[in-house]
Structure 1
């Protein structure tokens, strides 16, 4: 996972990025991460610029699908983040900021185009979330093709992980010792000594990235979406924050939108994107809204890794992060290139 800051000299950035919180104009696209993720920003923005018929929802789907096809840094789409059984599964969500309707899939198996399947849930059901093999069945019924989501690289990574005795992993309070063994595991009695042992002995597992995107059409209509292949070497069946409305992303066209990435199992407990958009509604700036959402998590989890981008309905934007130096990408108005912004992390000390 890319945790390093992406260093860009100011002279290399479009002039509009020097005022980091001011809208460059509409249409506008913003998403988590820079680097290879800027291909998604460009694809969504150019779709909005080049066709009058492309909607904000279209742009979000186009942008997220770009990373699903290209794999961006290997943590979106097929061929990345295998689970304990070496299978890649996908999570995605898309949301309409006008109707507040959303569609999502989680633990999607054997179908590459997760964001498109999520949009099919939005348009062709009254539901919000479909999961697992039954989400795959729905996808096939809607014309999607089943195919293997593993690659030689993802298989190699998983075999190397197994050769390291499955280190690190997400198991705790089990036997045999998850810090030295691949299992199979059996639960231990839940007492304080077992919990302390698990926390002390099992190192933090490898983490991951996610693409979360918000698009604003020139008309002002907004949409948001998220796509990810989840946490590397997760327990099979695990679903993170990506497909959860208000956690991975959220949008209300009357106010603004938010996209998030990070420790999804923790972040989903706080619905940080819902919180950030409600902060906008209360009158906070995008940066203030993002920082407040991150600080709420830091107070309970001082070591959490998180990154949140927030944009109001005009295209003013900001971000906040913890645990890593975060980057986000945006493009809007008449910008001739995507700009990347580096966001230093807040820390638990900031809360003292």
Structure 2
């Protein structure tokens, strides 16, 4: 997802396969269509029709090995809930079904044990990159790119392409970027909240902390973080469930400076 804070134009793609450069595809949506979000196979077709390389096999040796181990572990952990599987990896049936077989019931404890021990979202189970930029003219833009959560249910769309959740920009105020448990965070549009809080006079630190606190009050076990930057370039981060780091670089700096945010 990319957003121009001057024009408020947005381009995004979701559930796109066979095209490596999702952020480039999102920019093409913004620049060359009147739409905001394209999804699935047709998003891939659009990206390729606009000149991006593809279709491409995006699997790596590492990802194939990780997937194979997950299959060997009976497709656990996964993101399903209130269901029981047949033959380890499905099909799945609701737990309140009146026709559950003994084979399904035998898997109940196994699923509950694994899913209770292994978090779905953590330091090594997602790969979001989100960036906010202010140019020499004061124009603000944001972009977010991600492969999504590891072992997600096919078809899942997280917060990455959702405007106001993974990122948001407004030249009049500033910008916000987010990462973490997108399935929870997208319910609160934290980056939109951050920018609107700064519009009302909050400093970046207070705006970031407020947005995270709103989520934590309802989902105390969630993992996530936001970074807020106002139009003057003042910035701060807030997080919950982990120690978060983000980096900043200005024209006057020779290299990036890394900031650590404690939960």
TM-score when scaled to structure 1? 0.67
In structure 2, the residue matched to 1:168 is 77
In structure 2, the residue matched to 1:128 is 36
Partners of 1:294 and 1:243 in 2: CA distance: 19
Partners of 2:169 and 2:40 in 1: CA distance: 25
Higher-RCO chain (CA-CA 8 Å, sequence separation at least 6): 1
Q: Deviations over 1:235-273 (max 9, x none)?
A: 000010010000000000110000000000000000000
The answer to whether the aligner puts 1:119 opposite 2:37 as a matched pair is no
Judged with a 3 Å threshold, the aligned counterparts in structure 2 of structure 1 residues 198 and 332 are, in CA distance, closer, same or farther, namely farther
Cα pair 1:167 1:205 within 8 Å, conserved:
no
The answer to whether the aligner puts 1:184 opposite 2:102 as a matched pair is no
In structure 2, the residue matched to 1:334 is 252
TM-score when scaled to structure 2? 0.89
User: Cα distance, 1:184 vs. partner?
Assistant: 2.2
Judged with a 3 Å threshold, the aligned counterparts in structure 2 of structure 1 residues 199 and 97 are, in CA distance, closer, same or farther, namely farther
Partners of 1:316 and 1:293 in 2: CA distance: 17
In structure 2, the residue matched to 1:240 is 158
In structure 1, the residue matched to 2:106 is none
Partners of 2:173 and 2:120 in 1: CA distance: 36
Partners of 1:254 and 1:298 in 2: CA distance: 28
Q: Which runs of 4+ in 1 moved over 2 A?
A: 186-191, 197-207
The answer to whether the aligner puts 1:105 opposite 2:23 as a matched pair is no
Q: Deviations over 1:153-172 (max 9, x none)?
A: 11011001111111211111
Q: Secondary structure at the match of 1:259?
A: strand
Q: Deviations over 1:172-201 (max 9, x none)?
A: 122227xx932222334389xxxxx99955
Cα pair 2:76 2:111 within 8 Å, conserved:
no
The answer to whether the aligner puts 1:140 opposite 2:17 as a matched pair is no
Q: Secondary structure at the match of 1:181?
A: coil
Cα pair 1:172 1:198 within 8 Å, conserved:
no
The answer to whether the aligner puts 1:292 opposite 2:190 as a matched pair is no
For the aligned residue pairs, the C-alpha RMSD in angstroms reads 2.1
Which stretches in structure 1 are left out of the alignment for 5+ residues?
Answer: 1-92, 192-196, 346-352
Q: Please list, as runs of the form range in 1=range in 2, the aligned pairs for 1:1-352 lying within 5 A after superposition.
A: 93-146=1-54, 147-176=56-85, 181-189=88-96, 201=113, 202-203=115-116, 204-206=119-121, 207-345=125-263
Instruction: Say which is worse superposed, 163-172 or 267-276, in terms of deviation.
Output: 163-172
Which stretches in structure 2 are left out of the alignment for 5+ residues?
Answer: 99-108
Query: How many residues are paired up?
Result: 248
Cα pair 2:174 2:229 within 8 Å, conserved:
yes
